[in-house]
Structure 1
Amino acid sequence: MATYWDPFQEMDRLFGSLTTSRNAPGMPMDLFRDGDHYVLAADLPGIDPGSIDVSCEDRTLTIRAERTPRSGEGQWLLRERPSGTVARQLTLGRGLALDQISASYADGVLTLTIPVAEDAKPRRIEVSHRSDREEIEAGTS
């Protein structure tokens, strides 16, 4: 069996591992508002759905998941997929219904739906007014 070794590819890999930011998130996510709720979509490819833990305590949302390393006999030729625990924490603002957060996991994406609390939703306030004639009649009575 012939083994191919490219020294330039190896140098690129080593240089890339040195220049990659250590603070780069292991769980990229999108967050957007859709009407009266927020939607958070977090990429978790290759994660066992049973290992996903989502919790909310005192306005801090924590997402934690485990990617198990591939086991088996053999020699690794390339290993770029990280394994282990990935976690993200977000501080949520006021005005959200934290007790009504829902979560689903499909196709490697964890989706959280975070509703806006009823008392934080915009509402129209009616302004009452009395006509000058009503005030005069009320004042003469």
Structure 2
Amino acid sequence: MPGFDPFRDFDRLLSDVTRTPASVAMPMDLYRTGDDFVAHIDLPGVDPASIDIDMDGATVTVRAERKLPVDSDVQWLTRERAAGTFARQLTLGRGLATDRISASYSDGVLTLTIPVAETAKPRKIEVQHTSRSNEIEGSVEESQQEG
């Protein structure tokens, strides 16, 4: 039977009180490149089959699970890596092609690529013009001849 370790018990109590927020368990970088927004979400040690991405309205929810080794002989000395099921939500603005979002997972990083919708891309509007200079010149000439 292991002896009393006040630091281990205090650490366990503290970790129970301060549950790991998603931003710590699933840190993310988000940037825009050209016509795409790209999110890189760190998910080291996660089984790729446990990754679940749902779209509900303008909200993307990413869920993943990291399991601890299950061994009855384990006596933890330090346990700093968060385990369990984690979720992170992204609320998307208008002007994104949510039907074309893609996801890939490589080397412990989930990458979401969110394209900008064609209708939201900047575009040039051509100005139509007609030349009416003959009519104006004719009326000016007539005015000068009369005067």
| Shorter-chain TM-score tier | 0.7 to 0.9
The match for 2:116 is 116
Structure 1 residues 85, 24: CA separation in 2 closer, same or farther (over 3 Å shift)?
Answer: closer
Deviation, structure 1 residue 136: 4.1
Q: Is the 8 A contact 2:58 2:91 kept in 1?
A: yes
For the residues of structure 2 that align with 1:79 and 1:129, how far apart are their CA atoms?
Answer: 72
For the residues of structure 2 that align with 1:115 and 1:126, how far apart are their CA atoms?
Answer: 25
Structure 1 residues 130, 87: CA separation in 2 closer, same or farther (over 3 Å shift)?
Answer: same
The match for 1:32 is 31
* Structure 2 residue ranges without an equivalent (≥5): 140-147
Deviations 1:57-110 (A, max 9, x none): 101110000111211132222111111111001110011000100000000000
Percent identity between matched residues is 59
The match for 1:52 is 51
The match for 2:67 is 68
RMSD value over aligned CA atoms?
2.8
Please say which structure displays the higher CA radius of gyration. Answer: 2
User: Aligned letter for 1:73?
Assistant: S
* Structure 1 residue ranges without an equivalent (≥5): 1-5
Pairwise mapping of residues 118-137 of structure 1 onto structure 2 (< 5 A)?
118-133=118-133, 136=136
Structure 1 residues 18, 82: CA separation in 2 closer, same or farther (over 3 Å shift)?
Answer: closer
Moved runs in structure 1, 4+ residues, more than 3 A? 9-24, 134-137
SS of equivalent to 2:99: helix
SS of equivalent to 2:129: coil
Q: How many matched pairs?
A: 134
SS of equivalent to 2:68: coil
For the residues of structure 2 that align with 1:113 and 1:47, how far apart are their CA atoms?
Answer: 20
Structure 1 residues 135, 79: CA separation in 2 closer, same or farther (over 3 Å shift)?
Answer: farther
Structure 1 residues 10, 69: CA separation in 2 closer, same or farther (over 3 Å shift)?
Answer: closer
TM-score normalised by the chain length of structure 2: 0.76
Greater fraction of residues in helix: 2
